[in-house]
């Protein structure tokens, strides 16, 4: 039976055949995405994704300001063991319950870009975990695996003292995507500045004249939750208001089905509110859909800011949401750069914090 290839696979096959057949010669520059798009009758996004895959696989090299080049000369294609990076990423099963959640795809996109640009062949293993996951216990049961040899990336998980000890003893680099509360001097991490993110969005609403504001947030990742609350509190104080005058609504879950009753309960009494900051894509989507069903006009009746989340929400709702943008792929890229440094210096500890951008849309108004 003939396999029907996806458009992405069609482009990759075409490029590989052209490289191996000599149409695109070693050390030569590929045609532009525009030219390839017209030649193949496919979108530039499809062309770009296929090229990125071949960059990650070591066939192509991107050179900023110049273009994309065939990596090897004389028909020698990448040795999968040479300059190979094998990375283990701890993943949260809860996120996989959210259909189309791009969190891990964006993290790995950032990794792939950095490894490709540094001429590494990268492979990733997603180590799924449940609520009771413990890395050191996993190692005790399964041993240190080859997929961990160049690094371990922790997401939605705070490494324990035992985890740190095991990885340091084996000289295995590791990075946390998310701030580590205990012993920050021992753990490299990348993080968004949630204090600044909530501070700037809360202050923005105060400057628009809003006074009665609610904040809907997920408390399950303690460090980022505490930072968000701190930003919220500091903005109230600096603007001359008592933080206790406005409610924080905690929604301790991730899936749409679980979030829905919390949103409906919140909307049962919003008559005194003029604005809300809501964290996450599924919570924002649920809020906006329920506001529509109740005949509440945004921003006339209620101003809304989405904190974090992904672009599928405003695209699906056909609305230009005011958003605090957290670029997950940027966190992945920064974590990859740290792992490359740590492979040269296993005991180096690095940290990088990014300030989220407040992107003004049409869902906030002056009162």
- Span 87-134, pLDDT tens digits: 777 765 444 444 456 777 788 888 888 887 777 766 666 666 555 678
By residue count, the chain amounts to 367
First-to-last CA distance in the chain? 64
pLDDT-derived band at 137, boundaries 50, 70, 90: confident
d(CA 186, CA 8): 41
Residue-level pLDDT at 77: 45
Residue-level pLDDT at 360: 95
* Boundaries of every domain in the chain: 25-78, 84-192+328-356, 194-326
Overall CATH class of domain 194-326: alpha beta
Return the minimum-mean-pLDDT range out of 23-27, 82-86, 263-267, 273-277.
82-86
* The CATH number of domain 84-192+328-356 is 3.40.50.720: no
Domains 84-192+328-356 and 194-326 share a fold: yes
d(CA 338, CA 353): 13
Cis, bond preceding 210 (omega within 30 deg of 0): no
Residue-level pLDDT at 78: 44
Hey, what are 233's tokens? 């509190």
Residue where the block lists tokens 């949103």: 263
pLDDT-derived band at 320, boundaries 50, 70, 90: very high
Hey, what are 155's tokens? 């997401």
Residue-level pLDDT at 75: 43
- Span 272-298, pLDDT tens digits: 999 999 999 999 999 999 999 999 999
- For residue 313, the tally of other CB atoms under 10 A from its CB is 21
d(CA 229, CA 169): 36
pLDDT at 26 over 70: no
* The CATH number of domain 25-78 is 3.30.70.141: no
Give me the helices (H) in the chain, please. Answer: 7-20, 33-40, 44-56, 93-96, 103-117, 135-142, 161-169, 194-207, 222-238, 256-267, 281-293, 312-317, 328-344
């Amino acid at each position: 039976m003939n396999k029907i290839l996806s458009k992405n696979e069609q482009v990759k096959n075409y490029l590989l055949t052209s490289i191996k057949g000599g149409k695109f010669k070693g050390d030569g520059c590929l045609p532009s995405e525009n030219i390839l798009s017209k030649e193949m009758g496919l979108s530039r996004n499809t062309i770009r994704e296929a090229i990125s895959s071949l960059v990650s696989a070591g066939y192509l090299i991107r050179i900023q300001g110049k273009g994309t080049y065939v990596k090897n000369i004389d028909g020698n294609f990448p040795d999968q063991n040479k300059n190979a990076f094998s990375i283990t990423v701890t993943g949260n099963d809860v996120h996989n319950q959210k259909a189309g959640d791009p969190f891990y795809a964006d993290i790995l996109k950032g990794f792939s870009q950095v490894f490709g640009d540094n001429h590494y062949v990268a492979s990733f293993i997603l180590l799924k975990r449940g609520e009771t996951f413990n890395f050191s216990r996993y190692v005790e049961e399964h041993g240190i695996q080859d997929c961990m040899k160049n690094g371990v990336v922790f997401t939605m998980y705070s490494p324990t003292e035992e985890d740190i000890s095991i990885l340091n003893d084996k000289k295995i680099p590791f990075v946390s995507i998310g701030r580590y509360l205990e012993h920050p001097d021992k753990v490299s991490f990348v993080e968004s500045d949630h204090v600044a993110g909530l501070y700037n969005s809360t202050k923005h609403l105060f400057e628009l004249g809003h006074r009665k504001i609610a904040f809907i947030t997920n408390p399950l990742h303690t460090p980022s939750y505490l930072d968000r609350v701190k930003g919220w509190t500091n903005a109230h104080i600096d603007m001359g208001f008592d933080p206790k005058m406005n409610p924080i609504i905690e929604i301790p879950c991730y899936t749409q089905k679980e979030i829905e009753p919390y949103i409906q309960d919140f909307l049962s009494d919003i008559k005194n509110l003029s604005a809300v900051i809501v964290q996450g894509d599924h919570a924002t989507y649920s809020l906006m859909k329920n506001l529509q069903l109740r005949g509440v006009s945004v921003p006339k009746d209620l101003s809304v800011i989405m904190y974090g989340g992904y672009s599928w929400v405003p695209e699906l709702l056909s609305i230009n949401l005011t958003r605090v943008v957290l670029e997950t792929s940027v966190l992945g890229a920064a974590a990859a750069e740290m792992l490359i440094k740590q492979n040269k210096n296993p005991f180096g500890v690095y940290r990088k914090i990014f300030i989220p951008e407040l992107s003004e849309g049409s869902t906030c108004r002056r009162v």
